């Protein structure tokens, strides 16, 4: 007996998941959660427990619903296929939703409240500056023949930064799907050799 619950627990959890995905754990306030879920705070507490438990539930659901390609990847017949499946699935996940890019797991360690938006933007800008330096450096290397003509300096710069910072961080910073795909290709291949080295190698065989 007793009064019936008036909201859909699963839908509320999905809405909370999106909030955590976008703002991280600390960055997501109950004001955000009540607005996104349409459920008042005490109802969230009675349904999910405290904030940490709610986040834990959202994290579990994230792995069940959005990271469900991991088992598929693990079942591929070769390790390289496993890696490729993971990389391209992650790109898809990280860029599918415009509102919450990146990975919930990492964004929980990444994002802050709205009050820190300008700071985050500043960090993103500084990061982009660093990448631009490498892109320019690789453009120069390409002009000097250090890199083959087929080399994509922006993709190389993105790859190097991806190894430094991670693809999920790049997705959070608003990178395009195409850029992430280029990073994945580089991650699965080797660093390009110069045209001179290539011609030397082909003349050797």
Partner DNA sequence: GCGGTTTAATAACGGTCGTTATGAAAAGCA
Partner DNA sequence: TGCTTTTCATAACGACCGTTATTAAACCGC
Interface residues with its own copies (CB under 8 A)?
24-27, 52, 55-56, 59, 63, 70, 74, 77-80, 82-83, 86-87, 90, 103, 105-106, 108-113, 115-116, 118-120, 122-123, 126-127, 130, 133-134, 137-138, 141, 146-147, 156, 160, 162-169, 172, 183-184, 187-191, 194, 205
Burial of residue 4, with CB atoms counted within 10 A of its CB: 0-12 exposed, 13-18 middle, 19 or more buried: exposed
**Interatomic CA distance for residues 140 and 134, integer angstroms:** 10
Q: Is 7 or 83 the residue whose CB approaches its own copies more closely?
A: 83
Category of 7 on φ-ψ map: left (φ > 0), alpha (ψ -120 to 50) or beta: beta
Q: Which of the choices DNA, its own copies, none does residue 43 contact, using the CB cut-off of 5 to 8 A by kind?
A: DNA
Q: Residues 80 to 119: which contact DNA by CB under 7 A?
A: 113
For residue 14, give the nearest of 46, 48, 41, 45 by alpha carbon: 48
Q: Does residue 40 touch DNA according to CB under 7 A?
A: yes
Q: Is 48 or 55 the residue whose CB approaches its own copies more closely?
A: 55
**Interatomic CA distance for residues 53 and 94, integer angstroms:** 24
Binding marks (x or -) toward DNA, 10..29, rule CB under 7 A?
----------------x-xx
Q: Is 7 or 88 the residue whose CB approaches DNA more closely?
A: 7
- What is the smallest separation between the CB atom of 47 and DNA, expressed in angstroms? 7
Q: Is 110 or 147 the residue whose CB approaches DNA more closely?
A: 110
How many other C-beta atoms lie within 10 A of the C-beta of residue 7? 15
| From 11, 35, 41, 200, residue interacting with DNA (rule: CB under 7 A) | 41
Residue 98 DSSP one-character state: S
Measure Cα distances from 32 to 17, 35, 131, 176, 188 in Å. Answer: 11, 5, 33, 27, 39
Q: Does residue 120 touch DNA according to CB under 7 A?
A: no
Q: Which of the choices DNA, its own copies, none does residue 160 contact, using the CB cut-off of 5 to 8 A by kind?
A: its own copies
Give the pair of three-digit tokens for residue 42. 């005490």
User: What SS3 class is residue 70?
Assistant: helix
Token look-up 């990389």 returns: 87
Q: Is 98 or 204 the residue whose CB approaches its own copies more closely?
A: 204
């Amino acid at each position: 007996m007793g009064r019936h619950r008036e909201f859909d627990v699963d839908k509320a959890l999905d809405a909370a998941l999106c909030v955590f995905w976008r703002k991280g754990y600390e960055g997501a306030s109950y004001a955000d959660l009540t607005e996104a879920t349409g459920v008042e705070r005490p109802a969230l507490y009675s349904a999910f427990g405290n904030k940490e438990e709610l986040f834990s539930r959202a994290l579990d659901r994230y792995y069940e619903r959005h990271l469900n390609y991991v088992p598929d990847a693990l079942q591929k017949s070769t390790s390289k296929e496993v890696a490729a499946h993971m990389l391209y699935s992650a790109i898809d996940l990280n860029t599918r939703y415009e509102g919450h890019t990146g990975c919930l797991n990492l964004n929980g360690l990444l994002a802050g409240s709205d009050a820190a938006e300008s700071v985050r933007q500043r960090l993103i800008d500084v990061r982009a500056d660093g990448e631009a330096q490498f892109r320019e450096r690789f453009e120069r290397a390409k002009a000097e023949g250090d890199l083959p003509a087929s080399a994509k300096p922006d993709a190389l710069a993105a790859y190097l930064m991806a190894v430094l910072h991670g693809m999920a961080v790049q997705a959070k910073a608003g990178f395009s799907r195409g850029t992430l795909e280029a990073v994945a290709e580089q991650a699965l291949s080797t660093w390009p050799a110069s045209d001179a080295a290539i011609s030397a190698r082909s003349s050797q065989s």
